[in-house]
A and B are shown apart, each in its own frame.
Chain A
Amino acid sequence: MAKLDNQTVLRHLQNRFADHIKQVSEPYGLLTVEADTTHILEVLEFLKTDENLQFGYLTDITAVHYPDLDKEFAVVYHVHSLVNNVRIRVKVFLDGNYPAIPTATVLWNGANWMERETYDFFGIQFVGHPDLRRILNVDDMEVFPMRKEYPLEDPNKVDKKDYFFGR
């Protein structure tokens, strides 16, 4: 089957969701759209099950922290249509105080660990996730380390202290 182009994919999405698909761009040829919290599951389900699109493979779920925006967190879904040889990126912006979004585990079992990782590093609450706990960091960690307010460096590091260098 021939490669589906971005405009066709976008037309299918806009026919179905109209104004709920916003901020369309194509950085480096990758179709990128923005959805909102209430419609994200419908959008993903449509992408996965629509017979023209068949975005059957969930490549990744991650998040980005933008401390200067009103909606501080962006959850990013990368989905891939192996049949049509095309990828799409869906972003959802979330409120900083209580970033919550419905879980995608109802569509892909593979979303389970991706969402745990995103929770682990950004503290995004995936509502309905069967087992939302830390996956990579130590269990007793008290922060979400990829949020910009937490320092990247370990506070116990001593060998970079100024007095070792006569400063």
Chain B
Amino acid sequence: MSDIKLAEAPPGVQGSGFFATTLDKAIGLARANSLWPLPFATSCCGIEFMATMGATYDLARFGAERPSFSPRQADMLLVMGTIAKKMAPVLRQVYTQMAEPRWVIAVGACASSGGIFDTYSVLQGIDEVIPVDVYVPGCPPRPEAILDGVMRLQEIVKNEPLNRRNSPEYKALLEKYGIQTNG
């Protein structure tokens, strides 16, 4: 018996030779277990992320096998480190270049709230410029905490309705940040 654990099937109706579930759940399962991360690392939290990607903690176990250094192919933007106000437009552009569906994790105190840098030159949390799905506390957070953040995001992804990205609420959210939506 192999000790490899497979992703659990979503709830559904099972019978001889068939299994029925909702499209939302099936696609959510696929998305959650193949999140391609885009690391946006500006300081020490990025170093912790390197450890998270490494063999000991191995982020790839969660399906995040391929770090994408192009926003076009990435699903999950990990912002790690202090974002200066001068960097904010760059971060915003990276986010707008990502294709839907896209998720954002703010890793560490600086990305979440500005951290110790309570000063005129530093963005007081990236949620001033882009919407954030998961916040990971810590200064810097340990790799376990980053993994926990990714697993929590997986839960969000699994349970996201397929039409969420077309909903008026989602469009209103993006418009609140001044990010253009198509249609």
Fill in one digit per residue for A141-167: 1 if any B CB lies within 8 Å of its CB, else 0: 001010000111110111110000000
| Residue from A137, A150, A160 within 8 A of B118 (CB atoms) | A160
Chain A: interface residue total (CB-CB under 8 A): 15
Q: Does B124 contact A (CB under 8 A)?
A: yes
A18 CB-CB contact with B under 8 Å: no
Interface centre among A136, A154, A156 (most CB of B within 10 A): A154
Q: Does B130 interact with chain A (Cβ within 8 Å)?
A: no
Query: How extensive is the interface on chain B, given as a class?
Result: 10 to 19
**What is the CA–CA distance of A137 and B124 in the complex, to the nearest angstrom?**
16
The number of residue pairs between A and B whose CB atoms lie closer than 8 Å in the complex comes to 33
Min CB distance, B109 to chain A, in Å?
A: 10
Inside 8 A of B5's CB, which chain A residues have their CB?
none
Knowing A153-B118, A153-B119 are in contact, say whether A158-B124 is a contact too (CB < 8 A). Answer: yes
Q: What's the nearest-Cβ distance from chain A to residue B52, in Å?
A: 25
Chain A residues with Cβ below 8 Å from B119 are: 152-154
How far does the alpha carbon of A158 sit from the alpha carbon of B118 in the complex, in Å? Answer: 10
**Residues B120 and A153 in contact, CB atoms below 8 Å apart:** yes
Which residues of A approach B to under 8 Å, CB–CB?
136-138, 143, 145, 150-154, 156-160
**16 A-B residue contacts at CB 8 Å?**
A136-B86, A136-B121, A137-B85, A137-B121, A143-B120, A150-B120, A152-B118, A153-B120, A154-B119, A154-B120, A154-B124, A157-B113, A157-B114, A157-B118, A157-B124, A159-B113
